[in-house]
Amino acid sequence: MPIKIRESPKIKTDFSITVLRKRLLAIYIAITFLFCFVLGRLFYVQVIWGEDLQEKAIDQWTREIPVVAARGEITDINGVVLAANDDTYTVFVRKKAVKDLNALCTALAETLSLNYEYVYKRLTETVSSEITVKKQVRKDAVNALLKYGFDGVYYSRDNSRVYPYNEFLTQVLGFTSTDGKGQSGLELYYDKYLKGIDGEILYETDIVGVEIDGGKVSYIPATGGLNLKLTIDYEIQQLAEAATAEAMTVHKAKSAQMLILDPQSGAIRALAIKPSYNLNEISRSDISLLYALSRNSLLSDVYEPGSTFKILTAAADIEEYLNGNPKAFSPTHIFNSSRYRYIDGQKVKCWSNHANGKHASLNLQGGLNNSCNPIFVDIAMSLGKDTMYKYIDLFNYGRTTGVDFSGEAQGMILPISAVQNVDLARIAFGQTIAVSGLQLAAATAAAINGGKYYTPYFAEEIYSGGIIAEKIKPKMKHRVISEKASAILSEMLEGVVRDGSGKKAYIEGYRVAGKTGTAQKYENGVIAAGKYVASFVGYFPANAPKYLALVIIDEPQGEYYGSTVAAPYAKQVFEGIINLKNLPPVE
């Protein structure tokens, strides 16, 4: 007979208590987890998500009218205002608050010079509860609308950009969008300083967006943008504008460009390009035309500089001679008077026919005066491509200058590994290389100011009221040649204006120096018959340069040499500066 074992009451009780405890612990953990989840969710909603929810709540029970910040002014170095603001307004309509739609559409169309069908369509078919009817509305039109007393119509200041001098410094200043944002030029480059911080007006409304009578109105003021003072001198800019306009007319040119800078700092005093357009009458319907006219070609386009590039070749030879390089020529060395040089079986010739011994017995000074190509070929071939490319690099060709402007070109230079002897020969006198006008001007400034390369710049300071937020100082990159070599070169370039091809820039008593240039143009890889770029880069006084001018006339008709087409306009501007600044002759 099997033995029956009876379960102890104590063991059963202990087991029940253990199970109960486990169940209670599970419940406790679940409650704790649920509590933590609710607490975490509450924390997320109130702290992390709270600001967003608060904004949504405010947005649901309020309507905002933007208060556009006044854009900062742009002035010249003497405080002449070049870009300012005119108070205009944006007209808004809240559909839910409108009581007489047809009357409102009629009034808006008549007052704002809009088509009735356009206004009616905007107010009936636009999904948004708040509709922008028109921006940049004049004050008199706003006053006329206010007299109607329509419900649901609101106004906010939006400002209109105004350029007091119309077609002036066009490609430098640039322009803004209809929303007041910088779109080109300095308006774009310095937009973050000029634009300011917008404010707003908050109106209490009901759930459908109708303003509550006696509701609270909150005003968050806008913070105006900072002002920008340029290195540009308004009076010198006027001279450059007049000179380029005259050059376009007289020579029936495709374009005329002029850049004036201070060689001792890189500060740009004037930049004028023709053809141009009125900044207050921007045609946005033809984007390609607007882009072409607003493009700052002196910074963004490249061209073969021709003989103005000989300044670099001469600088390299002088510096290497002073450093004892046996491959360099002394300033007194007399070069072969042949018109031709044969490089790797190819004929490289001078622009002149050398008739009547015209280019006989020339040293470096004579080579510059007569712009004799073979002399510079001899220099480059003797120095070699490594040395020539060292100076091309020192003078910052093939790289942007670092100017405070968007869209600057790097230029086009053959890689040293790809350069053949015939390429080097042509580079020596400004062919087989493409540079921007600004690159050439900055490099020339470095060659004649004592040998220091300065970064060109437009902005002098950023300020508000009497407080200067940032003062922009000249930035010297490096030395390109010695002070002695620079002085020798400058004396030679003074001889070019006094006795050589630059005579039409000569001004008695003011020691003008410079170099002319004439380059043929290429189209589809071949020389374009009858198309030239005439140029001149000059400065004064030669012994202590203060003003450097680069003049480029593209495709002049008839005469096309830089000596006869471009140099006279540099002289014209230099004489204007002398009169404006009451500069005495140099003794």
Residue labelled with tokens 């001198």: 233
Q: Is 79 left (phi over 0), alpha (psi -120 to 50) or beta?
A: left
Q: Looking at residue 281, what DSSP letter applies?
A: S
197: Cβ contacts below 8 Å, ≥ 6 apart: 69, 222, 223
Distance CA 259, CA 582 (A): 21
Q: Answer whether residue 208 shows pLDDT above 90.
A: no
Amino acid at 55: E
pLDDT range class, residue 156, cuts 50, 70, 90: confident
Q: How confident is the model at residue 61 (pLDDT cuts 50, 70, 90)?
A: very low
Same domain flag for 350 and 471: yes
Q: According to the model, what pLDDT value does residue 243 have?
A: 98
Whether 434 and 338 share a structural domain: yes
Report, as an integer, the average pLDDT of 187-201: 92
Last residue of a domain, one of 158, 186, 204: 158
Instruction: Assign 211 a pLDDT band (cuts: 50, 70, 90).
Output: low
**What pLDDT does 201 receive?**
73
The chain-wide mean pLDDT, for the chain, equals: 89
Range with the lowest mean pLDDT among 28-32, 242-246, 575-579? 28-32
Maximum alpha-carbon separation in the chain: 151
3-class secondary structure, 178:
coil
Claim to verify: residue 81 and residue 92 sit in the same structural domain: no
Containing structural domain, residue 449: 234-581
> Which helix (DSSP H) or strand (DSSP E) does residue 21 occupy?
helix 9-43
pLDDT (0 to 100) of residue 214: 53
- Closest among 263, 257, 254 to 243, alpha carbons compared: 257
Q: How far lies 137's CA from each of 67, 105, 149, 164, in Å?
A: 14, 16, 17, 19
What pLDDT score does 502 carry?
Answer: 96
Query: Per residue in 385-416, pLDDT tens?
Result: 999 999 999 999 999 999 999 999 999 999 99
Kindly state whether residues 416 and 427 are assigned to the same domain: yes
Query: Does 57 fall in a domain?
Result: no
Q: Considering the chain, what percentage of its residues have pLDDT values greater than 90?
A: 68
> Residue 195 maps to which CATH number?
3.90.1310.10
* Measured distance CA(273)–CA(163) in Å, rounded: 17
Domain identity same for 219 and 238? no
Give a yes or no: residue 9 inside a domain. Answer: no
23-27, 112-116, 491-495, 544-548: range with lowest mean pLDDT: 23-27
- At residue 30, φ and ψ (nearest 5 deg) are -65, -45
Return the residue matching tokens 């007489």. 100
Q: How far is CA 355 from CA 295, 310, 361, 376, 518, in A?
A: 43, 22, 13, 19, 20
Is residue 562 scored above 90 in pLDDT?
yes
Do 300 and 220 belong to one domain? no
Nearest to 113 by CA among 77, 137, 82: 137
Q: Per the structure block, which two tokens stand in for 108?
A: 């808006």
Looking at the structure of the chain, the number of domains it has is: 3
Note whether residue 7 is domain-resident. no
Domain boundary among 126, 158, 190: 158
75 lies in the same domain as 109: no
Contact 580, 574 (CB under 8 A): no
Query: Across residues 503-510, what is the average pLDDT?
Result: 97
Between 39 and 249, whose confidence is greater?
A: 249
pLDDT above 50 for 187:
yes
Closest residue by Cα to residue 306 from 395, 435, 423, 443: 435
What pairs with residue 205 in β-bridges?
211
Contact 69, 197 (CB under 8 A): yes
pLDDT at site 36: 75
Q: How many other β-carbons are positioned within 10 Å of the β-carbon of residue 8?
A: 9
Distance, in Å, from the CA atom of 441 to the CA atom of 270, rounded to the nearest integer, reads 12
Could you give the angle at which helices 101-112 and 116-125 cross, rounded to 10 degrees? 130
The three-class DSSP label of residue 74 is strand
- Asked if residue 201 belongs to a domain, the reply is yes
CA-angle at 265, arms to 507 and 585, nearest 5°: 25
Q: In the predicted model, is pLDDT for residue 48 greater than 80?
A: no
Return the CATH number at 305. Answer: 3.40.710.10
548: DSSP letter: E
In a domain, 43, yes or no: no
Q: Are residues 213 and 103 in the same domain?
A: no
Asked if the model's pLDDT at residue 47 lies above 80, the reply is no
Top mean pLDDT of 31-45, 95-109, 151-165, 313-327 is at: 313-327
Specify whether the CB–CB gap between 482 and 451 falls below 8 A: yes
Give dist(CA 364, CA 419) in Å, integer.
25
Local structure of residue 226 (DSSP, 8 states): P
Residues 222 and 147 in one domain: no
Same domain, 568 and 436: yes
> In a 10 Å sphere around its CB, with 0-12 CB exposed, 13-18 middle and 19+ buried, how is residue 285 labelled?
exposed
Question: What would the pLDDT profile of 62-113 be if each residue is shown by its tens digit?
Answer: 566 778 889 999 999 999 999 999 988 889 898 888 889 999 999 999 999 9
Tens-digit pLDDT profile for residues 430-468:
999 999 999 999 999 999 999 999 999 999 999 998 899
Pairing outcome for strands 227-230 and 74-75: parallel
Query: What pLDDT, on a 0 to 100 scale, did the predictor assign at position 152?
Result: 86
Kindly state whether residues 562 and 524 are assigned to the same domain.
yes
Contact indicator for 572, 510 with CB cutoff of 8 Å: no
Residue with tokens 């350069």: 419
DSSP structural state of residue 211: B
Give me the active site residues, please.
Answer: 307
Q: What's the rounded mean pLDDT across residues 13-24?
A: 69
Residue 248, number of CB atoms within 10 A of its CB: 19
Strands, DSSP E only, in 217-343? Answer: 217-220, 227-230, 255-261, 268-274, 340-343
**Whether the predicted pLDDT of 174 surpasses 90:** yes
90: three-class secondary structure by DSSP: strand
Both 264 and 369 in one domain: the answer is yes
Q: What is the CATH number of the domain that holds 132?
A: 3.30.70.2110
**Residue pLDDT, tens place only, 275-284:** 999 999 988 8
The rounded distance, in Å, linking the Cα atoms of 362 and 107 is 81
Residue 309 has pLDDT above 60, yes or no: yes
Average pLDDT over every residue of 141-162: 89
48 within domain boundaries: no
Paired residues of 230 in beta bridges? 459
- HSE of 306, CA atoms in CB hemisphere, 13 A: 24
Measured in whole angstroms, how far is the alpha carbon of residue 271 from the centre of its chain?
12
Domain-terminating residue out of 128, 158, 188: 158
Question: Residue 313 has what pLDDT?
Answer: 98
- Determine the average pLDDT of the residues in 576-583: 97
Q: Where in 193-241 does DSSP place strands (E)?
A: 199-204, 217-220, 227-230
Angle between helices 483-499 and 437-448 in degrees, nearest 10: 110
Give the lowest-confidence range in 87-96, 205-214, 237-246.
Answer: 205-214
| Total H helices, total E strands in the chain | 20, 21
Determine if the pTM surpasses 0.75.
Answer: yes
